[in-house]
Amino acid sequence: MLKSEILNDWFVGRHISGFADENTSRCRSMRPAAVLFLALALASAANYLLASWLGFSRTASGYIGIYRRVGPENGSQVFCAGSSLLVAALSWSKVSEALGQGIETWSVAGSSPEIWEVWQQQRPFSNTTIIGVSVYDLNEMHVAPERANVVPLSRTINDLRASHAGSAVSHRILTQYAFMYLRFLFPTAGTGEKVLIGLRGKVAQQLGREASLVKHGDVVVEPRPPLLSAGESTASFSDWSPGRLLRRIAALRADVSGEVFNGPKRRAFQRILLRAQRQGRVIVVVLPVSRAYSKAFLDESSKTAFDREIHEAMAMAPEAMLVRLDRVPGISENGNFFDLVHMNSFGRRVATRAFLMQLTHGGSQRRLDATSIASISSGK
């Protein structure tokens, strides 16, 4: 009996001891995962607190921008497709009066043709379309912060494939979609510049220096929606100090590095033109940028590529009116711009006068003869 009890104790003890060792080993293997989960949860919570403190808001599902309009609300409306450069370039109340129609659009920071196309789909019955483009808007390397929230991923992938866009363009655009999903956990992901601006604003608020911050900011202030208008400003970046101008050029260089004019924007611009031509009258406005921007970012090859894109697009819609505000004498002088690309009140008066004059006397422009198209397409 004693021997049997001893054997039973030995086997039971060994079994229990083995079971305990197995549990201990399992707990040890799960410990790194638990620590990682806890760190992720704490980091996410801290990021949400930072976003809340800075006033970040989550983009709602179906968001396409802030609706804006001007002029009569009855009757058919003019659809305006363009970025803040177009809004700042013209006095829209005068344009509405000249056309005898209301004008409507949406606004998104840094918008471009892929986003305008989504807006256009909301207005299938507009009988007049105004499209404003510039060398800044059509640069494929410049991507709107809200692009991934507005433009479907499937359309983006199709356009990247069809246009044979380079890896730099594809990476910059597709990264936005990755950040869009990452923001479910970290709402400030991919918004480093926005976070820095927010922190600077908070510090200025604590120090009572808000007025100084506004004075030295580079933000175009638009009236409260839904009014379609640009705020009155006689400020000019020609008054900036050399250091401030260099800092702004350096910041912008990261956004538009490499002038690329063949990608999703080009395809969306052409689709907008074709759809607008089927709906009625089309007015394409080529907007100027400042002389300082051209000097810093444009060379002859990029200017030729931009002009080629404009002419190829217009060849697809020969009945459209082409208004080259970028060729108005003196329009690109730095004194006409609030910053490197947005016009101030002085530039807006010049551009509006030229636009209305051509709107009244220009009619349909058919200036794309075979010789000019061939010379531009060949780049010679």
CB count within 10 Å of CB 102 equals: 17
Domain map (residue ranges) of the chain: 64-170+219-378
Report the pLDDT averaged over residues 277-296.
Answer: 96
Q: What is the pTM of this model?
A: 0.82
pLDDT band at 201 (very low <50, low <70, confident <90, very high): confident
The answer, yes or no, to whether the previous bond of 329 is cis (omega within 30 of 0) is no
β-bridge partners, 106: 67
Q: Would you state the structure tokens that stand for residue 201, as one six-digit string?
A: 């604003």
In this prediction, residues 337-348 reach a mean pLDDT of 95
pLDDT-derived band of residue 56, with 50, 70 and 90 as boundaries?
Answer: confident
Which CATH entry fits the domain spanning 64-170+219-378: 3.40.50, 3.20.20, 3.30.70, 3.90.1150? 3.40.50
What would the mean pLDDT of 117-124 be, rounded to a whole number?
A: 95
Q: In the structure, how many helices (H) and strands (E) does the chain have?
A: 15, 6
pLDDT interval class at 375 (50, 70, 90): very low
365 band by pLDDT with thresholds 50, 70 and 90 = very low
Q: In what order do the strands lie in the sheet with 66-70?
A: 66-70, 103-107, 78-81, 128-133, 281-286, 321-324
Please report the DSSP string for 17-68 in residue order: HHHHHHHHHHHHHHHHHHHHHHHHHHHHHHHHHHHHHHT--PPPTT---EEE
Q: What is the spatial distance between Cα 266 and Cα 300, in angstroms, rounded to a whole number?
A: 19
DSSP at 259: -
- Higher per-residue pLDDT: 255 or 336: 336
Instruction: Indicate the average pLDDT of the chain.
Output: 84
* Residue 54 token pair: 């800075």
